[in-house]
């Protein structure tokens, strides 16, 4: 039984490594830097940061089912990276620093620009922003980075798959899809 579990974990690791190819290398570098810092024995502030990678194959193996009317999101998903960062308490400065590593990827003054903003909503002290990666080939999956933040914590999700903006909004919340408008005027420097 243990050997079967080890083989399954090894297979998921290989699948996870190959499914991340569509992600911007800059996101993967930031994720791996924070993961490394969180894994150091004396990095007390980083210990509270939670980092998870969910390859789609692992979600299917775990028995995650498609929701009704989900338009086959799980079938089109490749990988989800998730980072939970506490922004309050004695390690607030470290949390802000970790959050800034990811926020700097989507900052408008960054050259070359990596992500284009799709949606931003602020309500009751919580901000939700969704960005889509600009640099992608037509045959590669799309990449979306989602930043959710309030005064106490931040959540960063990076989703790769053959998904569009409406499916991403459905994953977040069915109510958010009403805020999505297709941008017919592109002013980005693509």
CB 13 within 8 A of CB 5: no
Q: Taking each helix axis as running N to C, give the angle between helix 92-106 and helix 25-39, from 0 to 180 degrees, rounded to the nearest 10.
A: 170
Distance CA 103, CA 97 (A): 10
Q: What is the pLDDT of residue 178?
A: 53
Q: What is the pLDDT of residue 71?
A: 54
Q: What is the pLDDT of residue 102?
A: 93
What mean pLDDT value characterizes the chain? Answer: 76
pLDDT greater at residue 17 or residue 56: 56
What residue segments make up the domains of the chain, in order of their start? 20-189
Reply yes or no: is the peptide bond before residue 169 cis, omega within 30 of 0. Answer: no
Average pLDDT estimate for 37-41:
88
CA 173, chain centre distance (Å): 15
pLDDT digits 0-9 by tens, 138-151 = 778 889 999 999 99
At 63, the pLDDT band (50, 70, 90 cuts) reads: low
């Amino acid at each position: 039984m243990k050997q079967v579990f080890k083989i399954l974990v090894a297979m998921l690791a290989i699948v996870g490594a190959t499914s991340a190819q569509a992600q911007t290398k800059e996101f993967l570098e930031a994720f791996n830097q924070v993961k490394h810092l969180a894994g150091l024995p004396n990095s007390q502030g980083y210990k509270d940061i939670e980092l998870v990678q969910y390859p789609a194959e692992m979600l299917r193996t775990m028995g995650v089912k498609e929701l009704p009317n989900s338009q086959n999101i799980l079938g089109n998903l490749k990988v989800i990276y998730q980072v939970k960062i506490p922004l309050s308490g004695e390690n607030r400065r470290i949390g802000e620093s970790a959050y800034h590593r990811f926020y700097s990827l989507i900052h408008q003054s960054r050259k070359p620009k990596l992500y284009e903003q799709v949606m931003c909503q602020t309500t009751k002290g919580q901000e939700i922003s969704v960005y889509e990666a600009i640099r992608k080939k037509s045959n590669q999956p799309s990449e979306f980075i989602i930043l959710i933040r309030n005064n106490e914590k931040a959540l960063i999700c990076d989703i790769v798959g053959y998904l569009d903006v409406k499916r991403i909004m459905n994953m977040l919340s069915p109510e958010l899809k009403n805020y999505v408008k297709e941008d017919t005027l592109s002013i980005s420097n693509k």
